[in-house]
Chains A and B, each alone.
Chain A
Amino acid sequence: MNPVNYLYLAALLFTIGASGVLIRRNAIVLFMCVELMLNASNLALVTFSRLHGNLDGQIIAFFTMVVAAAEVVVGLAIIVSIFRTRHSASVDDSNLMKL
């Protein structure tokens, strides 16, 4: 088996994540979809690392994880405070940006 298959898997997962962001309305699920997209890219990076035979890809994936962790912390805090004020976790309810 060629490790390229891992890339196909990553592409598939990324697409599913992106579609999830567009389809789901619950902000928490939306966040999970974003996490899935990040994981997919991590898988691709790890696979690239293997294909090229150096560890830089893994380093980048590592940093991605760190940044994802930070993002999740802040994002979930935002969701919690939005939920507190609006009593809803649906992103469609926060549509004050329109006229």
Chain B
Amino acid sequence: MNSLIPLLVAAPLAGAALLLLGGRALDRFGHWLGTLAAALSFVFGLVLFFSMLGRSTDQRPVHVQLFSWVPVNGFQADVAFQLDQLSITFVLLITGVGTLIHLYSVGYMAHDERRRRFFGYLNLFLAAMLLLVLADNYLLLYVGWEGVGLASYLLIGFWQHKPSAATAAKKAFLVNRVGDVGLSIAIMLMFTDFGNFTYLGVFGAAGQASRSQLTAIGLMLLLAACGKSAQVPLQSWLGDAMEGPTPVSALIHAATMVTAGVYLITRSHAIFDLAPDAQTAVVCVGAVTLLFGAIVGCAKDDIKKALAGSTMSQIGYMILAAGLGPIGYVFAIMHLVTHGFFKAGLFLGAGSVMHGMDDEVNMRHYGGLRKYMPITFVTFGLGYLAIIGFPGLSGFFSKDKIIEAAFAKGGTEGWILGLVTLVGAAVTAFYMTRVMILTFFGEKRWQADDEGHQPHPHESPSTMTLPMIVLAFGSVFAGGLFAFNSSFLKWLEPITGHSEGNSPLSSLTVTLLTSACLLVGVALAYVVYGRSPVPVTPPVGSVLTRAARRDLLQDEFNHAVLVRPGSALAAALVYLDSKGLDGFVNGLAAAIGGISSRLRRVQNGYVRSYALSMFGGTLVLVATTLLMRSV
């Protein structure tokens, strides 16, 4: 049974190799081949999941060593997989949502001539992501980590003929590199501190390590998580990453890859538990990103960018929860899974809307679409209810638990975090309601384009609606399923540990507060957008709105703080190099050249002149010899 574990990775990897190397012969059925590879992986995951369910709790984690990768004395790196409750959760999420999105892409990319390549990249992503979550050591995780980065780069820039897509891909790649450097430094620190980097070895030795060592590793891991999960301060790439095809946004930039940071922190809980300073940093990053993403999401008119802000904000919730320690790990993962369902559903819904609206992304040009695309409306609506935390749906259970855990942190810290998460919940309700109203309610606002072509909104084909329906089911029921009898908590607790904490508020109070916030947000959005017609051209807005439209000036900030000083430093170095070093070297060369051109005249080419110098030399030699003898 354990031999299926490598096959989890191998199936999509083989699919990717086949699709990318197979050539045009595969154009006709390549998309189905890719979908089959993903589905196969999902089936393997299910089989492994059920077999794991059948074992007792302490028998559940299994370990498979495939081969020895770098067998050097004192440096052992193996290609080995570890499948435990945490990994299988991710495996099911990745392969399940991945398969649905493959299916969706069959319809969405039907008219793209490079569809085979697209599916090849998607399979490559699946393989890398599965490697990431299945690895039993940090080095192999790093391979997967880079692999998903590569796939993300390739897929964001899939429409590379658009300069904006090419630039966005490059930006995502570069910002991710910063995080990757953090991860590689963390691995190097592990090696110097503990001598190896398997989970088992590192976590076993973490107890003996000093707090400063653990804090350093933790902060580097946090940097890595920030890069991959688009957390402040490395958040700037996610909004631009929406240039990629919508299925990519749904799979990579909403459901799976961006949650890799949460996985990394949860997986490294043994380190973070012993490094409270690093944990505090994690919580701060989560809290700041939560509000940052929410505010950005409120101002965007581009439906995908609004959803991207939302993703950032929701991952902020997860990171915050993961930073809370044992109180929050389980809920971080739980929110991750439910978020995977509803955010993927929302993105697919957005893709469906764009599909029907001739790739229009500006929500101010939508309006009243519920009549034209009922299935999309219903599935998107269920996803919407789930994300704002409507009681009884997935988001309600997971987000409620995180807010509860934030309060349970205790002390002033707990109050601040609790309030931040509550405000976040309210803002989430506001901006999601705004998206909903702008897209599906009100008057129709679309216009003919420059060529007089009128969009004809229509429902998407069944390959696209089917995944949306399945994901909508997940959005509705997953949370309840996980919360029922605390099943998810019991499932994950052996891996991550859990403690209840001491919440100053009762569970019911938190739920009521959350629901109140939710109501306030929805009501506010209705007042602003629902009661009066929405202007097609956006109003000027307040300073905050204008800033939020520009992603709260993140690019300007990066430009001013990083790019400009960097350019200035480079210019100074170039100046120093060209004037200082080159000047010195050139001066030396010129001096030698000048002296040489004068000395050259001695070489006049006349043999007699040379003979004279030889004769003179002989004269001097004889004279010296005689003088030395006489002395």
Q: Direct contact between A and B in the complex (CB less than 8 angstroms)? A: yes
Residues of A within 8 A of B (CB): 18, 21-22, 25, 91-92, 94-99
Q: In the bound complex, how far is the Cα of B600 from the Cα of A16, in angstroms?
A: 30
Please give me the 5 A-B residue pairs with the lowest Cβ-Cβ distance, nearest first.
A98-B605, A95-B605, A97-B605, A91-B607, A22-B612
Q: Does the CB pair A18–B605 fall under 8 Å?
A: no
Q: What residue of chain B has the Cβ atom nearest to residue A98's Cβ? A: B605
Interfacial chain A residues near B607, Cβ < 8 Å: 91, 94-95, 97
Q: What per-residue 1/0 map shows which CB atoms of B597-615 lie under 8 Å from chain A?
A: 0001001111110011001
- Cβ–Cβ < 8 Å partners of A21 in chain B: 608, 611, 615
Chain A residue with the shortest CB-CB distance to B618? A18
A22 to B612, CA, bound (A): 6
Complex: chain A residue closest to B607, CB-CB: A91
A97 partner residues in chain B, CB cutoff 8 A: 603, 605, 607
Compute how far the CA of A95 lies from the CA of B615 in the bound complex, rounded to whole angstroms: 19
Cα separation A92 to B605 with both chains bound (whole Å) = 8
Q: Is the CB of A96 within 8 A of B612?
A: no
A25 to B612, CA, bound (A): 13
Residues of A within 8 A of B600 (CB): 99
Residues from chain A with Cβ under 8 Å of B603 in the complex: 97-99
Contact B606 A95 (CB under 8 A): yes
Q: With A and B bound together, what is the CA distance between A40 and B67 in angstroms?
A: 87
Question: Does B611 lie within 8 Å of A96, measured CB to CB?
Answer: no
Q: Are A98 and B608 in contact (CB under 8 A)?
A: no
On chain A, the residues within 8 Å of B605 by CB distance are 95-99
Give the chain B neighbours of A99 by CB distance below 8 A: 600, 603, 605
> Does A92 contact B608, Cβ atoms closer than 8 Å?
yes
Question: Chain A residue with minimal CB distance to B597?
Answer: A99
Q: B612 contacts A98, CB within 8 Å?
A: no
The closest CB in chain B to the CB of A94 belongs to: B607
Which residues of chain B (611-628) have a CB below 8 Å from chain A? 611-612, 615
**Is B606's CB under 8 angstroms from A92's CB?**
yes
Q: How far, in whole Å, are A96 and B615 apart by their CA atoms in the complex? A: 22
User: Given contacts A22-B611, A91-B606, A97-B607, could you give 10 more A-B pairs where the C-beta distance is less than 8 Å?
Assistant: A21-B615, A22-B608, A22-B612, A22-B615, A91-B607, A91-B608, A95-B606, A95-B607, A97-B603, A99-B600
Query: Whole-angstrom distance from the CB of B599 to the nearest CB of chain A?
Result: 12
Give Cα A94–Cα B607 distance, bound, in whole angstroms: 8
> Are B615's CB and A18's CB within 8 A?
yes
Q: How far is the CB of B72 from chain A (nearest CB, A)?
A: 58
Q: Mark B80-99, 1 if CB is under 8 A from A, else 0.
A: 00000000000000000000
What's the nearest-Cβ distance from chain B to residue A34, in Å?
10
B192, chain A: closest CB distance, angstroms: 60
Residues of B within 8 A of A91 (CB): 606-608
Chain B residues whose CB sits within 8 angstroms of the CB of A98 once the complex forms: 603-606
Question: A25, A95, A96 — which one has the most chain B CB atoms within 10 A of its CB?
Answer: A95
Chain B residue contacts of A94, Cβ below 8 A: 607
Q: Which residues of A contact B611 (CB under 8 A)?
A: 21-22
| A25 and B608 contacting across the interface, CB-CB below 8 Å | yes
CB atoms of B604 and A95 under 8 A apart: yes
- Chain B 298-328, CB within 8 Å of chain A: the 1/0 string? 0000000000000000000000000000000
CA distance A97 to B605 in the complex (A): 5
State A92–B612 Cα separation when bound (angstroms). 14
Closest CB-CB distance, B225 to chain A, in whole Å?
67
Shortest distance between the CB of B64 and any CB in chain A (Å): 75
A92 to B606, CA, bound (A): 6
Task: Report the Cα distance A97→B606, complex, angstroms.
Answer: 8
Complex CA distance for A21 and B609, rounded to whole angstroms = 10
Shortest beta-carbon distance, B49 to chain A, in Å? 84
